[in-house]
Chains A and B, each alone.
Chain A
Amino acid sequence: MAASRPNPEDHAPGSRTPEGRAAPEEHGSETPHDDRPPPPVVALRDVWKSYGAVAALRGARIELHAGEAHALVGENGAGKSTLIKVLAGVRQPDRGVLELDGAATEFKSPQDARAAGVAVIHQEPALFPDLSVAENVFAGRQPRGRFGRIDEHAMRERARALLARLGVPLDPRRPARGLSIADQQIVEIAKAVSLETRALVMDEPTAALSGPEVDRLFSVVNALRAEGTAVLFVSHRFAEVTALCQRVTVLRDGAHVSTGPLAETTVDQLVARMVGREPDALFVRPGKQRPPGEVVLEVEGLSRAGAFRDVGFRVRAGEIVALAGLVGAGRSEVARAVFGVDRRDAGRVTVAGRALPNGRPRAAMAAGLALVPEDRRQQGLVLAASVQRNATLPRARQLSRFGFLVGGAERRAAREWATRLRTRYGDLDDPVGTLSGGNQQKVVLAKWLATGPRVLIVDEPTRGIDIGTKAEVHRLIAQLAADGVAILLISSELPEVLGMADRVLVMREGRLVADLPRETADEERVIRAATGQEAPA
Chain B
Amino acid sequence: MTVTARPPEPPKEGRRRGGAALLDAVLRFRALGLVVALVLLVATTWLANSRFLSAQSVRDILLSTALTLLLACGMTMVVVGRGIDLSVASVLGLSAFGTATVLADHPGLPVPLAALVGVGIGAACGAVNGVVIAYGRVPALVATLGTLYVFRGLVYFLAGGSRISAGELPRGFLDFGTARVLGVPWLFLIAVAALLAVGEFLRRHRAGRDLYAIGSHEEAARLAGIPIPSRLLLAYVVSGTLAGLGGVLYAARYGTVDASAGYGMELDIVAAVVVGGVAIFGGSGSVFGAALGALLLTVINNALPVLGVDPFWQRAVVGALIIAAIALDRLVALRVAASLRGRDADVH
Contact = CB atoms under 8 A, between A and B. Distances in A.
Q: Do A and B bind each other?
A: yes
A131 B3 contact: no
Contacts of A325: 3
B156 to A, nearest CB: 40
B30 to A, nearest CB: 14
B210 A237 contact: no
B212 A130 contact: yes
Contact of B219 (A126, A148, A180): A126
A135 B212 CA distance: 10
Contacts of A126: 217, 219-220, 223
B206 A274 contact: no
Interface in B127-158: none
B20 A237 contact: no
Interface in A97-143: 109-111, 114, 126-131, 135, 139-142
Contact of A494 (B1, B11, B215): B1
Interface stretch (B263-271, B315-323, B338-346): B338-346
B20 A533 contact: no
A305 B342 contact: yes
B4 interface: yes
Given A111-B225, A177-B19, A129 B283 contact: yes
B346 to A, nearest CB: 9
Interface stretch (A61-69, A410-418, A508-516): A508-516
B2 A130 contact: no
B3 A495 contact: no
Interface string B3-47: 111111111100011011001000000000000000000000000
A127 B212 CA distance: 12
Nearest to A112: B225
B5 A175 contact: no
Interface stretch (A5-13, A23-31, A203-211, A362-370): A203-211
Contacts of A110: 222-225
A533 B3 CA distance: 13
A130 B283 contact: yes
B213 interface: yes
Nearest to A176: B216
A532 B7 contact: yes
A48 B342 CA distance: 46
A326 interface: yes
Contacts of A177: 19-20, 23
Contact of A178 (B2, B19, B215, B225): B19
A238 B3 CA distance: 9
Contact of B2 (A135, A493, A509): A493
Nearest to B333: A177
Contacts of B217: 126-129
A240 B220 contact: no
B284 interface: yes
B206 A140 contact: yes
Contacts of B341: 305-306
Contacts of B2: 236-237, 492-494
A212 B16 contact: no
B212 A178 contact: no
Contact of A495 (B1, B8, B216): B1
B22 to A, nearest CB: 9
B209 interface: yes
Contact of B226 (A139, A150, A179, A183): A139
B3 A527 contact: yes
A531 B223 contact: no
Interface in A354-395: none
B71 to A, nearest CB: 24
A324 B336 CA distance: 32
B283 A492 contact: no
A283 B4 CA distance: 19
Nearest to B200: A149
A316 B209 CA distance: 58
Given A174-B17, A305-B341, A326-B6, A274 B1 contact: yes
B3 A494 contact: yes
A210 B6 contact: yes
A291 B221 CA distance: 56
A206 to B, nearest CB: 7
Interface in A145-172: 148-150, 152, 170-171
A509 B348 contact: yes
Given A127-B220, A508-B7, A532-B8, A150 B204 contact: yes
A130 B1 contact: no
Given A131-B216, A508-B7, A178 B336 contact: yes
A299 interface: no
B216 A305 contact: no
A530 interface: yes
Contacts of A114: 225
A271 interface: yes
B225 A237 contact: no
From B2, B3, B222, name the one whose CB has the most chain A CB atoms within 10 angstroms: B3
B216 A140 contact: no
Contacts of A214: 6
Contacts of B11: 210, 212-213
Interface in B190-239: 200, 204-206, 209-210, 212-213, 215-217, 219-226
Contacts of B223: 90, 110, 126
B219 A240 contact: no
B3 A326 contact: yes
A142 B311 CA distance: 49
B347 interface: yes
Contacts of B6: 206, 209-211, 214, 237, 239-240, 326, 531
A526 B206 contact: no
Given A131-B213, A139-B226, A527-B3, 5 more contacts: A128-B216, A128-B221, A128-B283, A150-B205, A212-B11
5 contacts: A131-B283, A140-B206, A171-B17, A178-B19, A236-B2
Interface of A: 75, 90, 109-111, 114, 126-131, 135, 139-142, 144, 148-150, 152, 170-171, 174-175, 177-180, 183, 206, 209-214, 236-240, 271, 274, 305-307, 309, 324-326, 492-495, 508-511, 526-527, 530-533
Which 4 pairs of residues, A with B, have the shortest CB-CB distance? A178-B19, A210-B9, A126-B220, A174-B20
